[in-house]
Structures are given as C-alpha cells and as structure tokens.
C-alpha cells in the first residue's frame, strides 16, 4: 500500500501558536504509531525552527522509522532548523532519500551543517534548497562534503533561485 501522509488539507499554519504546538505533538504521536510511514508532506505550513526541532526530536525516538520522503518547502525554516535536520539523516536508522527544504530562509550556516552530515550519509538521493539564502560559501561547503563521501547516494541537488544579492 501507499505509506504516505499528506497534511496539506489540514493546514498547521491556520493554527494558533498553542494549537501549532498541539498539532506538532499529534503529528509526532502519529509518526510513532505509524513507523512504516514513508512520506510526509508539510509544505506551506509556516513551520518554524522551534516546531521543526520538536518534530525531528520526536522522529529520532522512533525505532525503525521508514520515512523516505519529507517535504518542508514554503515554511519558515532557518539555520537552527537546518542544524536539527543535519543531525537526523546521520542517525543509524535514517532512511531519508528525499528532502525538500526549498523556499525557506536557510543561509550558508545551515547549508554547511547539512553538508557536513552528507559526509557520512549514504541514503539521501535528492536535496532541494532552491529559493533560500545561500551564497558561494554554502555552495563550496556542499561541494567539499560531496567530494569527501565516496559512498554518497546524492543524485540531485537543487539550489536554484537564490536571491541575486547573495552572489
């Protein structure tokens, strides 16, 4: 069967901050009850670093998490969120193959952390960071990390649409 969940009809962003907290806890609980879940769509939900950090801490507690695709585009994710994500893909049980972080506010610092995690990651195949705040510094960190990992499964990286003033 199709082991995916799409929360787009139920917009987390329409929640009050207090409800957003509750929604995050409900989502974590759902993931813990359904560790076979392979795909989660959380795009366009005004998810910020605080919510994302909670979500990833919750996912780290799930034994044998089957999650392969995570869509987090069009949110409010900044570098602290990227740091939380960077810790996640290197955990032994991680199976994340596709990660979409496009249209957020991740800068070079966040990309450097994500890049560092790629040095030991053999599973992630697709990383989208288009429309963030990345400059040549971030690109250099990414290229360097890709060169460090001989077993890297990364086949696609999308960095299009960075603001012109970052070039």
Residue 148, φ and ψ in degrees, nearest 5: -70, -30
User: Region 18-31: what's the mean pLDDT?
Assistant: 82
- DSSP-derived secondary structure for 113-150: HHHHHHTS-SS--EEE--SSB--HHHHHHHHHHHHH-T
**Burial, 42: exposed, middle or buried (Cβ in 10 Å; 0-12, 13-18, 19+)?**
buried
pLDDT in tens, 29-66: 888 888 888 888 888 888 999 999 999 998 888 878 88
List of residues 6+ apart from 105 with CB closer than 8 A = 76, 77, 78, 132, 133
Report the predicted TM-score, pTM, of the whole model to 2 decimal places.
0.86
Residue 7 has pLDDT above 70, yes or no: no
Give the Cα separation of 22 and 20 in Å (integer): 5
How wide is the angle at C-alpha 157 spanned by C-alphas 153 and 161, nearest 5°?
Answer: 175
């Amino acid at each position: 069967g199709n082991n995916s969940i799409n929360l787009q009809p139920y917009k987390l962003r329409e929640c009050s901050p207090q409800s957003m907290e509750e929604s995050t806890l409900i989502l974590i609980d759902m993931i813990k009850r359904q560790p076979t879940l392979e795909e989660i769509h959380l795009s366009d939900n005004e998810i910020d670093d605080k919510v994302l950090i909670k979500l990833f801490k919750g996912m780290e507690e799930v034994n044998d998490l089957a999650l392969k695709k995570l869509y987090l585009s069009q949110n409010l994710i900044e570098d602290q969120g990227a740091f939380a994500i960077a810790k996640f893909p290197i955990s032994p049980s991680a199976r994340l193959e596709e990660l979409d972080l496009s249209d957020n506010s991740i800068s070079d610092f966040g990309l450097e952390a994500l890049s560092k995690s790629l040095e030991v990651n053999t599973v992630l195949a697709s990383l989208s960071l288009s429309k963030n705040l990345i400059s040549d510094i971030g690109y250099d960190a990414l290229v360097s990390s890709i060169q460090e990992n001989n077993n890297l499964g990364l086949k696609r990286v999308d960095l299009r649409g960075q603001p012109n003033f970052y070039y």
